[in-house]
């Protein structure tokens, strides 16, 4: 079903879609129910049972966890070609984190029973393990090494590309993202993020209290490439 496949052009990096290939990805999403979401919508909630898996078709999401001390910690970003919530389904435990839409997005809902049967039939457990390791490495790379300005510009450009597959007004792409979350993702202070966002202002980036707006993605990508 073509409508459930999403946009391959936005499927960058080591996504699960790329690892398993188009044929298996399409088979996984066959007959799946597609849901649209707006920025700020909760897609999966921490503590809820793992009753289903979501496949991201368009847009971008953030994965956050509420710690015991009450701090909300950003764990990762997920875009097209990725699965959400598969860990709780595979280990039959409650969800360890909340997933929130960063932009307008579409996801396909795959039931627990169907996902488990599909994983067994196609022997996907080794691929899912490899994919988890790739995710960990990508998160670590975002936090260490390289110029902070380049890492911030690269992160915002990547998220804007994902978000642009779902909904945007002209060249304007809005992300429901805070300075604190960017600081956690990059492993730098909130004040440093604020300073760097000011530097990026003339290059098509505007920052509000709980949102980042990218007005000129092409310019931002040039900054990311030049600073890295």
pLDDT of the residue at 187: 87
| Stretch 165-186: mean pLDDT | 77
pLDDT beyond 90 at 12: no
Looking at the fold, whether 103 and 176 belong to one and the same domain comes out as no
Looking at the fold, whether 135 and 174 belong to one and the same domain comes out as no
Tens digits of residue pLDDT in 184-200: 889 899 999 999 999 99
Tens digits of residue pLDDT in 23-64: 999 999 998 999 999 999 999 999 999 999 999 999 999 999
Looking at the fold, whether 152 and 217 belong to one and the same domain comes out as yes
- The DSSP 8-state label assigned to residue 96 in this structure reads S
Looking at the fold, whether 37 and 137 belong to one and the same domain comes out as yes
Domain end: 126, 141, 156, which one?
141
pLDDT of the residue at 167: 45
Looking at the fold, whether 166 and 214 belong to one and the same domain comes out as yes
Domain end: 91, 124, 141, which one?
141
Number of domain units in the chain:
2
pLDDT of the residue at 72: 85
pLDDT of the residue at 135: 82
Tokens (6 digits) for 49 = 């049972």
Looking at the fold, whether 31 and 64 belong to one and the same domain comes out as yes
Looking at the fold, whether 181 and 209 belong to one and the same domain comes out as yes
Q: Name the nearest CA neighbour of 152 among 107, 191, 201, 185.
A: 185
pLDDT of the residue at 4: 52
Q: Name the nearest CA neighbour of 228 among 157, 144, 142, 151.
A: 151
Q: Name the nearest CA neighbour of 39 among 201, 184, 213, 155.
A: 213
pLDDT of the residue at 164: 74
CA-based diameter of the chain, in Å?
52
pLDDT of the residue at 202: 94
Domain end: 141, 159, 177, which one?
141
Looking at the fold, whether 124 and 159 belong to one and the same domain comes out as no
Tens digits of residue pLDDT in 134-169: 887 777 776 776 789 999 999 999 899 888 754 444
Domain hosting 216: range is: 145-227
Q: Average pLDDT over the chain, rounded to whole? A: 88
Tokens (6 digits) for 72 = 């909300």
pLDDT beyond 70 at 1: no
pLDDT beyond 90 at 172: no
Indicate which CATH number applies to the domain containing 220: 1.10.10.10
Tens digits of residue pLDDT in 65-121: 999 998 888 888 999 999 999 999 998 899 999 999 999 999 999 999 999 999 999
Q: Which residue has the higher pLDDT, 112 or 208?
A: 112
Tokens (6 digits) for 6 = 């999403």
Is the model's pTM score more than 0.75? yes
pLDDT of the residue at 137: 79
Indicate which CATH number applies to the domain containing 48: 2.60.120.10
pLDDT of the residue at 162: 85
pLDDT of the residue at 215: 92
Looking at the fold, whether 30 and 89 belong to one and the same domain comes out as yes
Looking at the fold, whether 151 and 56 belong to one and the same domain comes out as no
18: confidence class by pLDDT, cuts 50, 70, 90: very high
Q: Which residues are within 8 A (CB) of 168 and not within 5 positions of it... i.e. 6 or more apart? A: 103, 104, 174
Looking at the fold, whether 80 and 161 belong to one and the same domain comes out as no
Looking at the fold, whether 128 and 156 belong to one and the same domain comes out as no
């Amino acid at each position: 079903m073509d409508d459930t496949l999403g946009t391959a052009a936005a499927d960058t990096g080591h996504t699960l879609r790329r690892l398993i290939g188009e044929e298996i990805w399409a088979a996984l999403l066959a007959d799946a129910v597609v849901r649209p979401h707006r920025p700020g919508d909760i897609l999966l909630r921490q503590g809820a049972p793992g009753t289903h898996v979501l496949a991201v078709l368009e847009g971008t999401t953030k994965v956050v966890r509420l710690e015991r001390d009450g701090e909300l910690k950003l764990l990762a970003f997920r875009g097209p070609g990725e699965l959400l919530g598969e860990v709780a389904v595979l280990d039959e435990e409650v969800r360890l984190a909340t997933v929130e839409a960063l932009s307008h997005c579409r996801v396909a809902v795959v039931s627990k029973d169907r996902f488990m049967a599909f994983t067994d039939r196609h022997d996907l457990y080794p691929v899912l393990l490899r994919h988890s390791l790739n995710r960990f490495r990508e998160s670590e790379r975002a936090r260490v090494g390289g110029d902070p300005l380049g890492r911030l510009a690269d992160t915002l450009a990547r998220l804007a590309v994902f978000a642009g597959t779902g909904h945007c007004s002209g060249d304007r792409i809005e992300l429901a993202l805070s300075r604190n979350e960017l600081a956690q993702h990059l492993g730098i202070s909130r004040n440093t993020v604020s300073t760097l966002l000011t530097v990026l202002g003339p290059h098509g980036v505007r920052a509000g209290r709980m949102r980042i707006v990218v007005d000129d993605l092409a310019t931002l990508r040039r900054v990311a490439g030049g600073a890295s």
